[in-house]
Amino acid sequence: MPDLPTLRAATFRTLAPQPDVQAALGAMGFVQADPIRAPARAQDLTLMQRVRGYRAGDLERLYPQLDAEEDMLPNYGFFPRGVQKLLHPREVGLSRIEREHPELLGEVRGLLQERGELHPREADALLGRGRVGNAWGGQSSATTRALDALHRRGEARVTRRVSGVRLYGPAPHLAALRGRPLPEEERLRGAVHLLAALYGPLPEASLGYLVTLSRSGFPHLHGALRAAFKRAVREELSGAVVEGVRYVWPAEWTLADAPVPQGVRLVGPFDPLVWDRRRFEHLHGWAYKLEAYTPAEKRQFGYYALPVFSGEQAVGWANLKVEGRELRADLHFLPAVRQTRALAAGLERELGRYRAFLGLD
């Protein structure tokens, strides 16, 4: 029966070092994306903890040469194509842009086939329909929304980014799947096991929540995905109740074999190590929050707090900011944490890695 220290150590298997970005994508299966840069985007913060010598922006720079696609499960991020096969063909209802501009998707399809690669501004210049409301209460170009709709349908793919803006092209590999998709049971089982491996060991309730979020990836198979989750928990995953919480993890794992982590790490708020706040609080004894969308006067941790780990224990948090060519670190520790010389030295080494990652060294 595992105890809390064993579970804490086992969560660090997601931080296994990888030789390059492609290997990291293959090992993880999914890297969540987020546009906030504090001090770098979420995908870069995640990969710098796993790929030696990784620099901010490497994923975007290398993306056209990688076996990588942008898609959604359970959140938006980057997948190897072998994982993306689980998500398509995807049946979605009519989006708002299709209802308001029913002819626009056909025109954008034609441009994608004609140009091979399309920048949203180029599409807007050629087909401009003005601006329409988006899901966040703001306004977006109608053609940009049409490109997003085609991407979600699997009729377009992100070819690369320019200054963070997605460029699109045709997606022949997904068109082929529409004719010969993977069996439905294989797709759904694969998605559940991917989540269990990426975020595990984690509370069974948290895996259920991840599956619920994943309806964005399987909007037409959500009921079947829930059934696959229940079957996996009942028949395929290992599990145990630890201090009143039932945890699950892939059956092939032996938790006791996980080495105890060493050193100091500052990880991003979307890193698999800390993504599940329920697990974080149970394993580390305190509640961590991302407060980027919390009014400044109500923040406890700061705009974009990165949890600080010493060994396998979360001991505090840091807000990092680049000012000029300097990295500023606003560090906070739990009251019971002894701020030893070893901890200070570990923090300085980790901040040195961040300086190199950000190109400040």
7 close to 283: Cβ distance less than 8 angstroms: yes
Sheet strands (E) in 104-155: 131-133, 139-141
E strand or H helix at 111, and its extent?
helix 104-115
Higher pLDDT, 251 or 222: 251
Asked, for residue 121, whether it belongs to a domain, the answer is yes
**Mean pLDDT estimate for the chain:** 93
Check pLDDT > 80 for residue 127: no
Percent of the chain at pLDDT > 70 equals 96
Q: Which CATH number does the domain housing residue 124 bear?
A: 1.10.10.10
Query: Is pLDDT above 70 for 175?
Result: yes
Read off the pLDDT of residues 329-353 as tens digits, 9 standing for 90 and up.
999 999 999 999 999 999 999 999 9
Q: Mean of the pLDDT values across residues 144-164?
A: 93
42 inside domain: no
Whether the predicted pLDDT of 138 surpasses 70: no
pLDDT at 260: 83
Return the closest-CA partner of residue 221 out of 195, 173, 185, 194.
Answer: 185
| Banded pLDDT at 124 (limits 50, 70, 90) | confident
User: Is residue 120 assigned to a domain?
Assistant: yes
6 part of a folded domain: no
pLDDT class of 222 with cuts at 50, 70, 90: confident
331 occurs within a structural domain:
yes
Q: What is the pLDDT of residue 128?
A: 64
* Total domain count, the chain: 2
- Indicate the DSSP class of residue 117: S
pLDDT band at 135 (very low <50, low <70, confident <90, very high): very low
Where does a domain end: 179, 196, 223? 179
Helix (H, G, I), strand (E, B) or coil at 172: helix
Asked if residue 253 is part of any domain, the answer here is: no
Does residue 133 surpass a pLDDT of 60?
Answer: no
Identify whether the C-beta of residue 310 lies closer than 8 Å to the C-beta of residue 327.
no
**Which domain covers residue 156, as residue numbers?**
96-179
What is the phi/psi pair of residue 170, to 5°? -60, 160
Is 134's pLDDT higher than 60? no
Q: Which of 179, 207, 234 is the last residue of a domain?
A: 179
With H, G, I as helix, E, B as strand and everything else as coil, classify residue 253. Answer: coil
3-state helix, strand, coil in the chain (%, to 5): 45, 20, 35
In a domain, 81, yes or no: no
Confidence grade of residue 94 (pLDDT, cut at 50, 70, 90): confident
Q: Identify the domain boundary among 112, 145, 179.
A: 179
Torsion sign (Cα): 81, 87, 73, 100: positive
In a domain, 204, yes or no: no
Q: Is the predicted pLDDT of residue 137 greater than 60, yes or no?
A: no
Q: 344 Cβ partners below 8 Å, 6+ apart?
A: none
Least confident of 131-135, 232-236, 242-246: 131-135
Q: Quick one: tokens of 282? A: 């149970």
Q: What is the pLDDT of residues 25-66, one digit of tens each?
A: 999 999 999 999 999 999 999 999 999 999 999 999 999 999
Lowest model confidence (mean pLDDT) among 9-13, 135-139, 232-236: 135-139
pLDDT of residue 129: 52
